[in-house]
Amino acid sequence: MRLIVTCAVGLEDLLRGDLAHDGAQVTVGGDGELLVDGAEPDALRTNPMVDRVALPWAVGDDLSGAESLCRAGGFEEPIAFRVHERDASRREVLVESVEAATGWTNDPSGWQVNLVPQAGRAEIGPLAWASRFGAMERLPATTPPAVAAGVLRLAKLRPGMRLLDPCGGVGTIPIVDALVRPGSGLVVDLSTESIELAQNNIRSLSLEDRVFAEVGDATDLDLADGCVDRVVSDVPFGKKIGSTKANDTLYPGLVAELARVLADDGRAILITDDKRRFADVVARNRSLKIVKETPLRYNGVTPTAFSISRVRARRR
C-alpha cells in the first residue's frame, strides 16, 4: 500500500533514510512529503519525525486500507470520518456514499479518517503525531514535535547522555527526546508560564523521573562547567518571541554559556531564523564552530538548524 507521509520541510532525507532502513521504498513527493511503499505500520508509528500519514484517495475508491491503518494505529472503536469539502451539496453526496460503502459514521469533530477530495488523500487520525505519542500543552512559539524530533536526530544523542534546552518553552524538545531515548533532559526558560506548562507536559507523559523543568536564564545558567552532552534549542528569532535587538544581548550570552556548559565532546543544535546574527556570534566565539546548517520550513517560518561543536577542548 502506498502512503503519503509528511514531515517538516528540510527533514525529508533524514526520514527517508529511517524508513528505507526499515525496509520501505521511499521517494520524496514534494516539500515535507514522502511517498512510501511497503512500510511496516510500526515503523511509522514509532518514528517521531513522522508528522501525519495519509493514503492516496479519490472519490469512489475503496477505503478498507484507511480502516486497517486506523487499526494499526491502535484505534479499536467503530470508525468516524469527515469530508473536507467546502461545497455543502458535494459534501453531503460524498458523506452519504462513504456511509453506504463503509458503515462508518460522519463526525466532523471526532473523526479518525479525514477525506480531502481536493488533495486526493485520506488522512489517518490515529497515525498523527499527537495520537501516537500524546498531546502536549502549547504556546504560539512552541516547536512542532515532529520538527523537534528531526532536530534531535541532528544532535546524535546516545543512551544516557544529558540534554539541555536553555530556551525550552513548554519542554517539547527534551520531552520528544525522552519519548524515544533513555537519558535525561533539562528544560530551562525565563518564563514561569512556559515552565508550568512544561511541568504539566512532563507529568502527563509520565516523564518526571527523566525530564526536569526550571525557570532560568539561558545567558546565566545555574549549571556546572562541562556538565551537558548535548544542547538542542529553538531559540527566540526576534519575530514571535523577543526582538532582533534583544538577540544582540541574548545570542552572545547564550553562546558563551554553551561554550561553558558543553562537555569536551559536546554538540549543540540551535534553530533560529535570525541566521546572520547567530552565525556572527558563533564565529566570534573561540571555542565553538558551526559544522553544518540545515534549512527548515514549518508553520510559515524558515529557520536554520545550526550544528555546533567545539573547536578545541574546554579550558580547565
Ligand X SMILES: C[S@@+](CC[C@H](N)C(=O)[O-])C[C@H]1O[C@@H](n2cnc3c(N)ncnc32)[C@H](O)[C@@H]1O
Kind plus residue range of the DSSP H or E element containing 148? helix 145-154
SS3 39: coil
- Contact with ligand X (CB under 6 A): which of 167, 178, 205, 207? 167
In which residue are the cell numbers 540534554 written? 163
Q: Which residues contact 226 (CB under 8 A, 6 or more apart)?
A: 260, 261, 262, 263, 264, 266, 314
The single-letter DSSP state of residue 125 is G
Amino acid letter, residue 152: L
How many CB atoms neighbour CB 130 within 10 A?
A: 11
**Residue whose CB is less far from ligand X, 114 or 233:** 233
CA count, 13 A, side-chain hemisphere, 97: 14
Alpha carbon separation from 86 to 49, 61, 212 (Å, rounded) = 31, 20, 45
User: Shortest approach of ligand X to residue 28 CB, angstroms?
Assistant: 26
Site string for ligand X, 106-145 (x = CB under 6 A): ---------------------------------x-xxx--
**Residue whose CB is less far from ligand X, 16 or 230:** 230
Interaction residues for ligand X, span 174-203 (CB under 6 A) = 188-191, 194
User: Shortest approach of ligand X to residue 235 CB, angstroms?
Assistant: 6
Residue of closest CB approach to ligand X: 169
User: Shortest approach of ligand X to residue 218 CB, angstroms?
Assistant: 3
Size of the site for ligand X (CB under 6 A): 24
User: Shortest approach of ligand X to residue 145 CB, angstroms?
Assistant: 8
Interaction residues for ligand X, span 214-253 (CB under 6 A) = 217-219, 234, 236, 241-242, 250
Q: Which residues contact 206 (CB under 8 A, 6 or more apart)?
A: none
* CA–CA dist 167, 174 (Å, integer): 11
Quick check: 282 binds ligand X (CB under 6 A)? no
**Residue whose CB is less far from ligand X, 190 or 227:** 190
**Residue whose CB is less far from ligand X, 170 or 255:** 170
User: Shortest approach of ligand X to residue 5 CB, angstroms?
Assistant: 22
Kind plus residue range of the DSSP H or E element containing 310? strand 304-310
Residues that bind ligand X in the complex, under the rule CB under 6 A: 139, 141-143, 166-170, 172-173, 188-191, 194, 217-219, 234, 236, 241-242, 250
